[in-house]
Amino acid sequence: MHRFKALVAILWCSVILGLSGCSGDKVTLPQVTPLNASPEALASLYKAETGPLHVVAQTNVHLSLDDRELDLSVFYPDAEGPFPILLFSHGNWSTKDKYNPVIEHWVSHGYVVLAPNHLDCCGMVKGIWNSVRYGQFGLIEERMRDFSKLLDHLPQVEGSVEGLAGKMDTSRIAATGHSFGAFTTQQFGGAGTFNPDTEEYVYFTDKRIKAMVAISPPGPMFDVINESSWVNLQGPMMLTTGTWDANAQFWPDWRAHKLSFDTAQPGQNYALITQGADHYLGNLICRPEREQPPQYDALKMLNSATTAFLDAYVKNNTEALAFVDSDVLQQITNNFSQLQRR
């Protein structure tokens, strides 16, 4: 019965996607004030501009890890390492290669990014097929298994990618992701998935992960993610969302994307909120084919804040920690973007 209900929900979403792109276009969006800050003021934001390191991208890596086959993109700086590792999990039906404006920014500031394709990747047809085959709970499990295999086989990953030798610091690893992939990210820190067959929560925590960046994570959806999914979530975590991050079918109020911040355990818990930022930053991430103007100002806010957070909690950078623990971002941008903490 639970699998049938999930199938109905998936098929309904596919119909909505076909009609409206599930982009929230029918939601009445609030009025927002554009970014009002001088170039000199914006230049003082923490690492808002591209970093000094040249980015190398290997996007056609195929790995056989025990019984698992993974297609992987690996991004690393063309400089002497080692650098901290960021795992990146794409959104539902998207791919590992549609997030370069964010991923390459991190890499240019000294990170290696490992971004696999999950079973629900690469379009509606494949996504629906595997949703029916595995169920929503099963897809979530498979995503975590992708990363478990990567973490267990980092030496093999390093040896399989030209130029990667000596680049990865396996003692400093963080998880990052967007949308459905943001929930995958949060599972490393204690977010729970409700299994409707057993009526129990399942957890996939991993102490190897030092911090989490969750870009527009979902609110409650289907049977597997609900209001109680984040009560055991512990930081360090930075969540990002915006006042246009709304969807008529699932989350008509953007604040649903902030629920994990509001209900997680307090301490080292951050939320970046940007005026007018939507789920895709216009068309800059996840769905570049989307016919919406790119939100470059929102991207700048996200890149600055998340890089500061990662530097603070992965690299132990005191300047970065001071930035995320202050109201500097809000002051410089005249309330266009702000960091909340709890």
264-301 pLDDT per residue, tens: 999 999 999 999 999 999 999 999 999 999 999 999 99
Q: What's CA 196's distance to the chain center, in Å?
A: 25
Report the C-alpha gap between 225 and 140 in whole angstroms: 10
CA distance 175 to 150: 12
Give pLDDT, residue 7: 46
Q: What is the pLDDT of residues 153-174, one digit of tens each?
A: 999 999 999 999 999 999 999 9
pLDDT at residue 66, rounded to an integer: 85
Residue 276 CB neighbours (<10 A): 21
CB 111 within 8 A of CB 85: yes
Q: State the greatest distance between any 2 C-alpha atoms of the chain, in Å, as a whole number.
A: 59
**Helix 124-152 / helix 2-20 crossing angle, nearest 10 deg:** 110
Are 218 and 257 in contact by the 8 Å Cβ rule? The answer is yes
Q: Pick the closest to residue 46 from 318, 334, 335, 340 (CA basis).
A: 318
125 pLDDT higher than 70 = no
Number of CB atoms found within 10 A of residue 166's CB: 11
* Contact indicator for 55, 78 with CB cutoff of 8 Å: yes
Structure tokens at 41: 């003021």
* Residue 8 one-letter amino acid: V
Query: Please, how many CA atoms are within 13 Å of residue 20, restricted to the half-sphere of its CB?
Result: 12
- Provide the residue type at 106 as one letter: W
**First vs last C-alpha separation in the chain:** 39
- Residue 11's pLDDT is what? 44
For residue 337, which of 90, 107, 101, 33 has the smallest C-alpha distance?
Answer: 33
> Per-residue confidence at 132, pLDDT binned at 50, 70, 90?
low
- 31-56 tens-digit pLDDT: 998 999 999 999 999 999 999 999 99
| pLDDT at site 51 | 98
Mean pLDDT of 2-10: 46
pLDDT at 130 over 60: no
pLDDT grade for 135, boundaries at 50, 70 and 90: low
- Domain 55-341 -> CATH class: alpha beta
Q: Is the pLDDT of residue 8 over 80?
A: no
Return all residues near 205 (Cβ < 8 A) that are at least 6 apart.
187, 188, 189, 190
Q: What is the pLDDT of residues 199-231, one digit of tens each?
A: 999 999 999 999 999 999 999 987 899 999 999
pTM (2 d.p.): 0.91
Pairing label, strands 192-195, 200-203? antiparallel
Which 3 state secondary structure label does DSSP give 183? helix
Closest CA to 310 of 110, 124, 29: 110
Cis peptide before 266 (omega within 30 of 0): no
Instruction: Report d(CA 194, CA 47) in Å as an integer.
Output: 38
The predicted model gives 66-91 an average pLDDT of: 94
Cα dihedral 126, 128, 132, 133 in deg (nearest 10): 10
User: What residue segments make up the domains of the chain, in order of their start?
Assistant: 55-341
Nearest alpha carbon to residue 261 among 329, 330, 342, 337: 342
> What does DSSP assign to residue 130?
H
pLDDT confidence of residue 299? 98
Q: How many CB atoms are closer than 10 A to CB 40? A: 8
